[in-house]
Amino acid sequence: QFVLTQPPSVSGAPGQRVTISCNGSSSNIGAGYDVHWYQQIPGTAPKLLIYDNNNRPSGVPARFSGAKSGTSASLAITGLQAEDEAHYYCQSYDVTVYSSKVFGGGTKLTVL
Amino acid sequence: QVQLVQSGPEARKPGASVTVSCKASGYTFTDCDIHWVRQATGQGLEWMGWMNPIHGGAGYAQKFQGRVTMARDTSISTAYLELSSLIFEDTAVYYCGRVPARPSNYYGIDVWGQGTTVTVSS
């Protein structure tokens, strides 16, 4: 259903490192289009977390980092904190989907 | 500070239309395209389309073609989303967001509105 595939859920204990994958194809990530990541706490609007694959907007802690390789991208969170519990979405551009932004289905991060 | 403030919740019957507004402040309205994204309860984010405030041109996701209109009033720095022929499945929170680079479909949404709940029920 979603052009970009994310795991439905991941979990980790406080202080640990977790990664969230975002798998695309040759018409989006693999075609060289950038990946952006959003964090959404329930009941609030999404917040831009990582832009252009690996850049953090001002105010986003360095614990969050992004990477991209081939047709996939990933978000890493180190030093996990309780406040990181949220949904995370990747987003890119796809040349075949009527030239549009495309989102992943989202990943729920649970801090144990 | 840069802000997008959306209009309040709306309730409509199936077949009706709804318009959601998104007022920008803290930056030059025409510098950034406005995108609209919706989210049904418990579901993911769904991109609907974009609008260029300079000339009003817009591009819509194929799913919404013929049913959606995105417009603006530059005199009050406000963007609008109109969705017609509403069905129950249009019940969702609708977000506007700005993209500070062009072509904006390539880039991330750096500022989001607070969301507007649209409920379609009979």
**pLDDT tens digits, B71-120:** 999 999 999 999 999 999 999 999 999 999 888 888 899 999 999 999 99
Q: So what's the pLDDT on residue B32?
A: 96
Q: So what's the pLDDT on residue B58?
A: 95
Q: Do B105 and A99 touch (CB under 8 A)?
A: yes
Q: Do B110 and A48 touch (CB under 8 A)?
A: yes
Q: Do A98 and B61 touch (CB under 8 A)?
A: yes
Q: How far apart are CA B52 and CA A54, in angstroms?
A: 27
Nearest CA in chain B to A36: B108
Q: So what's the pLDDT on residue A44?
A: 96
Q: So what's the pLDDT on residue B31?
A: 96
Contact status of B108 with chain A (Cβ, < 8 Å): yes
Q: So what's the pLDDT on residue B7?
A: 98
The predicted-structure confidence for B4-60, as pLDDT tens digits, reads as follows: 999 999 999 999 999 999 999 999 999 999 999 999 999 999 999 999 999 999 999
Q: Do B44 and A2 touch (CB under 8 A)?
A: yes
Q: Residue A98 above 80 pLDDT?
A: no
Mutating which of B20, B45, B117 best tests the A interface, going by the most A Cβ atoms within 10 A?
Answer: B45
Could you identify the residue written with the tokens 């047709």? A71
Q: So what's the pLDDT on residue A28?
A: 94
Q: So what's the pLDDT on residue B106?
A: 87
Q: Do A47 and B95 touch (CB under 8 A)?
A: no
Q: Do A102 and B46 touch (CB under 8 A)?
A: no
Mutating which of A33, A100, A103 best tests the B interface, going by the most B Cβ atoms within 10 A?
Answer: A100
The predicted-structure confidence for A9-61, as pLDDT tens digits, reads as follows: 999 999 999 999 999 999 999 999 999 999 999 999 999 999 999 999 999 99
Q: So what's the pLDDT on residue A89?
A: 98
Q: Do B108 and A51 touch (CB under 8 A)?
A: yes
Task: Indicate the range of A41-50, A74-83, A95-104, B77-86 predicted with least confidence.
Answer: A95-104
> Would strands A9-12 and A107-111 be described as parallel, antiparallel, or unpaired?
parallel
Contact status of B27 with chain A (Cβ, < 8 Å): no
What DSSP string describes B82-107? EE-S--GGG-EEEEEEEESSSSGGGS
Contacts of B42 (CB under 8 A, 6+ apart): none
Q: So what's the pLDDT on residue A99?
A: 61
Contacts of A43 (CB under 8 A, 6+ apart): none
Q: So what's the pLDDT on residue B91?
A: 98
Own/partner pairs, B106-109, CB within 8 angstroms, 24+ separation = B106/A33, B106/A34, B106/A93, B107/A34, B107/A36, B107/A51, B107/A52, B108/A34, B108/A36, B108/A38, B108/A48, B108/A51, B108/A52, B108/A91, B109/A36, B109/A38, B109/A46, B109/A48, B109/A91, B109/B35, B109/B37
Percent of chain A past pLDDT 70, that is, above it, reads 97
Q: Which residues of B touch A52 (CB under 8 A)?
A: 107-108
